Structure 1
């Protein structure tokens, strides 16, 4: 056993009383050797142990950026039970506790300080971090940093800049259970990971019985969802699109309660705890429910409406069957429902808002609070627009928002930002189309999902509705365009093959998103050019 592995094993036993598993060990080893790491591991595989053990090996304090107070609280409680020093900093933390947490960052002993991204970017917290940079920063639920993600949090965008500005940059661990290749790339870019080790394991969930039920009338869909929830056994989650729907379905099901972000925290906590204690069989929820919920015996997840992406869908159905026993994942598909997520991708930023930010910053560095006041933009909206302008080369986001020397004119900068927004919207629409493709498949759904997440699979999964109906076929990689091959399209530019069958290939283009192409048309018209081994795509 290597010396570093012996040290990891010793810390794991002493701190957590466990032996690291293969995926965990690879990620811990990279972090312990000082290498930024992106770990994509299934829920329940021990992602939190990765940063906990790595911090113990590095021998210093760690900051854990986590999106939910409840998730922070649960992880902190588990560590305290093992005798580990832990602090939680959030909006409700009193001055004395906050002071103790900040003091822990200046010590050399292993300790953990949990906080949301909104806390990390506060100026007083950044001052402490500049004076005493932690050894490790773990970004949990890292998919939240991605504009592709389904739980986008603007302050996640600032994490990379905050950490890069520290006098001694910490090692960064980015952790998530769900990230398709483009999401992984964006996480690495936005967190400014340096030559990150990527540890990606196990998207296959054979215990999940995947199925889609097509309905053509809203009333029939309502009946079908209620009937399914009544017929299925055990605890379950019903995901719906609106807060109004949570109350409607919960009112028609026994031992069910609604859950959404508009409820008071005390009431949400009550519903969650009742579900965890088996005092409640069904939670009818918007996507506000689920992150950090670790109930092993969830036997079904129903989607009354189609999610906006396969990333969202996989994250949500992953809350079922964590004990390894069979569980149902049923999506109720009405083609017209996809107009709803399209609405969310339909608007571009207002030119006047972008121009107002540029003009306010042009006079010199300005605090974000003052910038929000001058422009009349909400903090959330301002953060999103600043991200676009930063990418367009118009502003720098540091302690204050600063103009970029020799930046383009305001008109050109706004045009660049709008072009970036248009590109993001186009890519988002292609993800919606991939969701549609999943729902309308006449072939294996499990294989389609695995290939979407970059995991090769030839054989049918054997446990989706198509396989169980005897309609799935075996599909090896397309010989001309194997999975993972880099290609270039004459119009859409460079991309990578993410799925290839006998008659069609699916390509994830760097700027145009997902496109499905018929192989015959590709070959007849020479639409795709393969990249040489180890090189960038050429030609076209």
Structure 2
């Protein structure tokens, strides 16, 4: 006798029945004969009613988890996705499968009021099975109320590392998702990300209020991507080295590829120089018109370009499986970002290449970007203006243009101030970015002090991430061991597919984790830096991620001799 759906078993049936249904749908509708590591386990957990965090490498098929599991649950699927382009891409994919997968729709600020109503009506009357929306939409009571009436079966948080202040791409608008989940009656939660070290995973589970959560970590390794670093001593030779490397790869027929630059100007100059060499090259950054960005993305996806030269604005949701190389003209802001960006290569399973063109002085640019906590007086001024908004008759809140008029300051730092004040529960930002006083908000002076302290903490962590990027660039050991160790995953033997392995400088650390008193993922306490967690172990060094100061690499001999670390129970 087959079991009926229940709160704890929404799909009904035994585990073996669920397995059969998962495999049948994946094969018959999506054409998946085999699952990638972690996929089926995550589907099983979701279909069985377990809140699930799935940490799978870029290109490992995270979206298939909710596409399959959503079919076997009794109710609509809500997918929170940070980018409109990413939402559109997923809706188009599901539309191709509409007869079997159900109708998909998106809800975002790019749609007309009529189209937004149609999407909400569809989720209300059951004609829409999958609804994709940005987190900002969930500031609207009418949207949340409509979703609650629809009784969703699954609430998906894509790019879930954005929930965590430890994450490299933290977004304050993700903080409200835990409360929304409860307002919706706590449907089964599926959080998806490609980059989440242990502290990030823990915070995702906590912030989303996940219950009896299943954490599926498939491993961070992408062994088909060769890792290399090209070292240069001066700016001119480094700039030439970027061009030479791209030309060499395309000359050997290894393309298309992506070049990442730290600045908009750099992206434009490199693209112009590559185009001058006869390549089909374009630049891409957030300063371009939306139509130009969309045209470049279309040309890239349709094989009309050899290379795109971009800032980090180009990437999230860009899924071109046959991308053969990713070249970084400068170091990324963190190993987290670097891993995510190189993960856009080789998603078809064929060999690919990731090259960092490195000049030590370029780290100064990243240190500059990571530095600069706002003054407490500036934060107090902004907090005071938002607090006074209701009395001033500003029912629509205080937006950045208004703050610019009042303060005479630039838009970017003001937006940063609002984000910090939101994180300390002093203000609430609506979908349009306007700020309103939070319920029970602290006084402006108290809010400013808390926001300043938070900014200083973020600055320390960000600076430590830059130093870990330096460590990756300058290590003579196996680069893949370094990269995976950053995320708390040990690779016992050198990978054999990086430049250091080819040069013979990489060494084995097979017994390091067994011999150390501080194995990977051990919670520890430092007498000065406080609590942390061990992320990487080598023969003579350990790397610890501390809550207050970020990543630190310590000599194991000094740790033991000076009694610097103690395990936390």
Name the TM-score, length of structure 1 as normaliser: 0.89
Look up the SS of the partner of 1:39 in the other structure.
strand
Q: Find 1:488's aligned residue among 520, 525, 528.
A: 525
Where do residues 194-209 of structure 1 align in structure 2 (5 Å cutoff)?
194-209=211-226
- Give the structure 2 partner of residue 235 of structure 1: 256
Q: Find 1:224's aligned residue among 238, 241, 245.
A: 241
Say whether 1:168 aligns with 2:185.
yes
Answer whether contact 1:56 1:110 (CA < 8 A) is retained: no
Q: Find 2:96's aligned residue among 56, 66, 81.
A: 81
Deviation at 1:447, TM superposition (A): 0.5
- Give the structure 1 partner of residue 30 of structure 2: 16
After superposition, what is the alpha-carbon deviation per residue over 1:276-307, rounded to whole angstroms, capped at 9, x for unaligned? 23221111111111222222221211100111
Q: Find 1:51's aligned residue among 66, 70, 77.
A: 66
Look up the SS of the partner of 1:2 in the other structure.
helix
- Give the structure 1 partner of residue 111 of structure 2: 93
Change in Cα spacing, 1:294 to 1:412, as seen in structure 2 (3 Å) is closer
Say whether 1:370 aligns with 2:385.
no
Say whether 1:472 aligns with 2:526.
no
Residues 506-515 or 5-14, more deviating: 5-14
Deviation at 1:4, TM superposition (A): 3.2
After superposition, what is the alpha-carbon deviation per residue over 1:99-129, rounded to whole angstroms, capped at 9, x for unaligned? 2211222245660111222333334423423
Deviation at 1:13, TM superposition (A): 4.7
Q: Distance in 2 between matches of 1:251 and 1:357?
A: 41
Change in Cα spacing, 1:349 to 1:192, as seen in structure 2 (3 Å) is farther
Residues 339-348 or 280-289, more deviating: 339-348
Answer whether contact 1:431 1:513 (CA < 8 A) is retained: yes
- Give the structure 2 partner of residue 415 of structure 1: 449
Look up the SS of the partner of 2:53 in the other structure.
strand
Deviation at 1:445, TM superposition (A): 0.5
Q: Find 1:402's aligned residue among 423, 438, 444.
A: 438
Look up the SS of the partner of 1:252 in the other structure.
helix
Q: Distance in 2 between matches of 1:530 and 1:385?
A: 37
- Give the structure 2 partner of residue 498 of structure 1: 535
Superposed CA RMSD: 2.9
- For this pair of structures, how many residues does the alignment match? 529
Deviation at 1:147, TM superposition (A): 4.2
Name the TM-score, length of structure 2 as normaliser: 0.85
Deviation at 1:452, TM superposition (A): 0.9
Where do residues 127-206 of structure 1 align in structure 2 (5 Å cutoff)?
127-164=145-182, 166-206=183-223
After superposition, what is the alpha-carbon deviation per residue over 1:52-86, rounded to whole angstroms, capped at 9, x for unaligned? 22222222111212222222222112211112211
Say whether 1:425 aligns with 2:459.
yes
Say whether 1:446 aligns with 2:480.
yes
Q: Distance in 2 between matches of 1:306 and 1:24?
A: 32
Q: Distance in 1 between matches of 2:172 and 2:422?
A: 13
Q: Distance in 2 between matches of 1:103 and 1:77?
A: 19
Deviation at 1:311, TM superposition (A): 0.6
- Give the structure 2 partner of residue 538 of structure 1: none
Q: Which runs of 5+ in 1 are unaligned?
A: 536-540
Residues 367-376 or 211-220, more deviating: 367-376
Q: Find 2:495's aligned residue among 443, 448, 461.
A: 461
After superposition, what is the alpha-carbon deviation per residue over 1:184-228, rounded to whole angstroms, capped at 9, x for unaligned? 334334434334321111311111111111212111111111011
Answer whether contact 2:172 2:423 (CA < 8 A) is retained: no
Q: Find 1:213's aligned residue among 230, 233, 243.
A: 230
Answer whether contact 1:65 1:120 (CA < 8 A) is retained: no
Deviation at 1:421, TM superposition (A): 1.9
Residues 120-129 or 37-46, more deviating: 120-129
Answer whether contact 1:250 1:258 (CA < 8 A) is retained: yes
Q: Find 1:271's aligned residue among 266, 283, 296.
A: 296
Q: Distance in 2 between matches of 1:251 and 1:411?
A: 49
Deviation at 1:463, TM superposition (A): 0.7
Q: Find 2:56's aligned residue among 28, 35, 41.
A: 41
Look up the SS of the partner of 2:397 in the other structure.
helix
Q: Distance in 1 between matches of 2:302 and 2:139?
A: 36
- Give the structure 2 partner of residue 318 of structure 1: 343
Look up the SS of the partner of 2:265 in the other structure.
helix
Q: Distance in 2 between matches of 1:316 and 1:43?
A: 9
After superposition, what is the alpha-carbon deviation per residue over 1:151-192, rounded to whole angstroms, capped at 9, x for unaligned? 44442333333333x152232221122222333334334434
Q: Which runs of 5+ in 2 are unaligned?
A: 1-14, 405-409
Look up the SS of the partner of 1:16 in the other structure.
coil
Change in Cα spacing, 1:170 to 1:512, as seen in structure 2 (3 Å) is same
Q: Find 1:71's aligned residue among 61, 86, 98.
A: 86
Q: Distance in 1 between matches of 2:42 and 2:378?
A: 42
Q: Distance in 2 between matches of 1:336 and 1:398?
A: 40
Q: Distance in 2 between matches of 1:362 and 1:247?
A: 42
Say whether 1:62 aligns with 2:77.
yes
After superposition, what is the alpha-carbon deviation per residue over 1:314-359, rounded to whole angstroms, capped at 9, x for unaligned? 1111111122222221101111111112222222133234334554
Residues 411-420 or 341-350, more deviating: 411-420
